[in-house]
C-alpha cells in the first residue's frame, strides 16, 4: 500500500467539484460539493447514533436500501435539521443533483452540515449547481467546500494491489467540533475503484468505523448529521472480492488506513485545539476494555484542560480511568507522557513518582502528545485520539449560530 494524491478522485472513474451557491454569506467560500462516479457503485454507509437525525440522513438511508449509489451532494453552512421543510429540501437537493448529473435521484446521497434549526435555502442550490465544474483533479476543492469550523481540509488516498491488479482508494472528511464516538459532527466520503461485493463492503465499513471514527473525541457531543459513506465502482477491473480471502484482508487494511488517517485529522483539528492527543491504554484484559478506558481519558475535559496548560497532572488520567466503568486494579497502573522519543513516567503502581517537572513541562508543551496508561493486566492495547481544550473552543461555540 502506498499513499498517493487526489483524495476522492484518486480512484478511477470518480469526479468531484464545488461552488459557492449562496448558503454562506462569505462569497469566497464554496458551500456546495459533488462527488460523482461515472458508473453505478456498490455503496455502504454508517450514520450518527443521535436519536435526532437530520433529513439528509433519512433520504440517504432510503436511497441506499439497495446498496447502490452514483453521486453525493453535500452542502455546508446549514444542517437542514429540525425545520418544517427539511424533508422537502433534502429531496429537492437530491433531485437537482440528479438532473445536473443526468442520473437517477435514488442513486444520489445527500449530506448537509452547519447550523441546526434553520430552513435550508434550497433554491440557492437549485439555481447555482450548474456552476460546478466536475473533474478528476477537484478533490481539494470539494474537500474545502464541506468544511464548517474546520481550519484545514482533510483528505487521504492510497493505492494497493488485489490479485496483482492496482486499485485506488481516497477520502475526504470534515469535522472539528461536536465530535464524540458513534460519529460526531463529521462527514466522511470514501471512494474506491476496487470491485467488492456490497455485503463485504458494508461489513468492512462497520468493523473499521468502530476502530477509527469511534475512537476520536473533541468535546463529547454527537451531531444530528454525521455519516460515513464508501462507494466502490469496480473500475479497477480486479477479480471481484466476494469472500473473506487474502484480497478481502488487503482491502480491509486499506480502508482501515484511510479511515484512521481521516479520523486523526479530525481530532487534530478540534475547534480551538493547539495540541493533538493520543491516549493509549496498554496491558488491558480485552480490546473493548482498552478502548473504553482510552476514550474515557481522551474525553476528560479536566485532562484536556491540563494538556492545554502543559500541566503533568497525571491524577486526572487516573481519575478518568477510574470512572470508565471497567474493572482493573488501580494499584498496578503506570502512567507516562510522551513526545516522540521523549518519555517521562509520573505514576508507578498507582502511586506518584518524583519526576522532573521541567522535563514534563517540555514534553507537554509540544503540539503532539501521547498519554500512556499501562494496566499490566493483559495484552490488549488501544489508542484513541483527541485534542486539548482551549479558550478558543468557547469563543468559537459561544456565537456559532449568530
Distances in Å between the Cα of 386 and the Cα atoms of 186, 207, 214, 245, 271 are 14, 21, 11, 34, 11
Check the CA dihedral 58-93-270-281 and report its sign.
Answer: positive
- Angle, helices 55-63/86-101, rounded to nearest 10 degrees: 50
* 185 has binding-site annotation: yes
Torsions phi, psi of 342, nearest 5?
A: -95, 125
Q: Which residues sit opposite 135 in a β-bridge?
A: 16
**Is 174 annotated as contributing to ligand binding?**
yes
C-alpha cell at 159: 493505492
Residue 130 CA to residue 227 CA, distance in Å, equals 26
Q: Which of 48, 113, 185, 212 is catalytic?
A: 185
Q: Is 212 annotated as a binding residue?
A: no
Nearest-angstrom CA–CA distance, 196 and 165: 13
The response to whether 402 counts as a known ligand-binding position is: yes
198-203 long-range contacts, Cβ below 8 Å, gap at least 24?
Answer: 198/42, 198/43, 198/44, 198/67, 198/68, 200/241, 200/242, 200/243, 200/244, 200/248, 200/251, 201/42, 201/43, 201/44, 201/230, 201/232, 202/44, 202/67
> Is 278 a known active-site residue?
no
Which residues make up each annotated binding site for substrate?
Answer: 148, 174, 185, 271, 397, 402
Q: What amino acid positions are annotated as catalytic residues?
A: 185
Which residues make up each annotated binding site?
Answer: 148, 174, 185, 271, 397, 402
Amino acid at each position: 500500500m502506498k499513499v498517493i494524491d487526489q483524495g476522492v478522485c484518486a480512484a478511477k472513474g470518480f469526479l468531484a467539484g464545488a461552488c459557492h451557491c449562496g448558503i454562506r454569506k462569505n462569497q469566497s467560500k464554496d458551500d456546495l460539493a459533488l462527488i460523482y462516479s461515472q458508473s453505478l457503485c456498490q455503496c455502504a454507509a454508517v450514520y450518527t447514533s443521535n436519536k435526532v437525525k437530520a433529513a439528509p440522513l433519512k433520504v440517504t438511508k432510503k436511497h441506499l436500501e439497495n446498496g447502490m449509489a452514483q453521486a453525493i451532494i453535500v452542502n455546508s453552512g446549514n444542517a437542514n435539521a429540525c425545520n418544517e421543510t427539511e424533508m422537502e429540501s433534502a429531496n429537492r437537493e437530491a433531485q437537482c443533483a440528479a438532473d445536473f448529473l443526468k442520473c437517477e435521484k435514488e442513486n444520489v446521497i445527500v449530506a448537509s452540515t452547519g447550523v441546526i434549526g434553520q430552513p435550508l435555502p434550497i433554491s440557492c442550490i437549485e439555481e447555482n449547481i450548474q456552476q460546478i465544474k466536475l473533474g478528476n483533479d477537484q478533490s481539494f476543492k470539494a474537500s474545502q467546500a464541506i468544511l464548517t469550523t474546520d481550519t484545514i481540509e482533510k483528505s487521504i488516498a492510497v493505492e494497493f494491489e488485489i490479485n496483482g491488479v492496482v486499485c485506488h482508494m481516497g477520502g475526504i472528511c470534515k469535522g472539528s467540533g461536536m465530535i464524540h464516538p458513534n460519529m460526531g459532527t463529521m462527514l466522511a466520503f470514501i471512494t474506491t475503484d476496487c470491485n467488492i461485493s456490497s455485503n463485504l463492503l458494508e461489513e468492512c465499513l462497520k468493523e473499521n468505523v468502530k476502530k477509527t471514527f469511534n475512537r476520536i473525541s473533541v468535546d463529547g457531543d454527537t451531531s444530528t448529521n454525521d455519516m460515513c459513506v464508501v462507494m466502490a465502482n469496480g473500475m479497477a477491473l480486479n477479480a471481484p472480492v466476494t469472500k473473506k480471502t487474502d484480497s478481502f484482508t488487503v482491502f480491509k487494511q486499506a480502508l482501515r488506513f484511510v479511515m484512521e488517517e481521516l479520523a486523526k485529522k479530525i481530532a487534530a483539528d478540534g475547534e480551538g485545539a493547539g495540541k493533538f492527543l493520543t491516549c493509549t491504554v496498554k496491558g488491558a484484559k480485552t480490546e473493548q476494555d482498552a478502548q473504553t478506558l482510552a476514550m474515557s481519558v481522551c474525553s476528560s475535559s479536566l485532562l484536556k484542560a491540563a494538556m492545554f496548560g502543559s500541566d503533568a497532572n497525571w491524577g486526572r488520567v487516573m481519575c478518568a480511568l477510574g470512572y470508565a466503568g471497567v474493572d482493573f486494579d488501580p494499584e498496578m497502573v503506570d502512567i507516562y507522557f510522551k513526545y516522540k522519543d521523549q518519555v517521562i513516567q509520573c505514576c508507578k503502581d498507582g502511586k506518584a513518582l518524583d519526576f522532573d517537572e521541567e522535563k514534563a513541562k517540555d514534553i507537554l508543551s509540544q503540539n503532539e502528545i501521547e498519554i500512556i496508561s499501562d494496566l499490566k493486566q493483559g495484552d490488549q492495547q488501544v489508542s484513541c485520539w483527541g485534542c486539548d481544550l482551549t479558550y478558543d473552543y468557547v469563543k468559537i461555540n459561544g456565537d456559532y449560530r449568530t
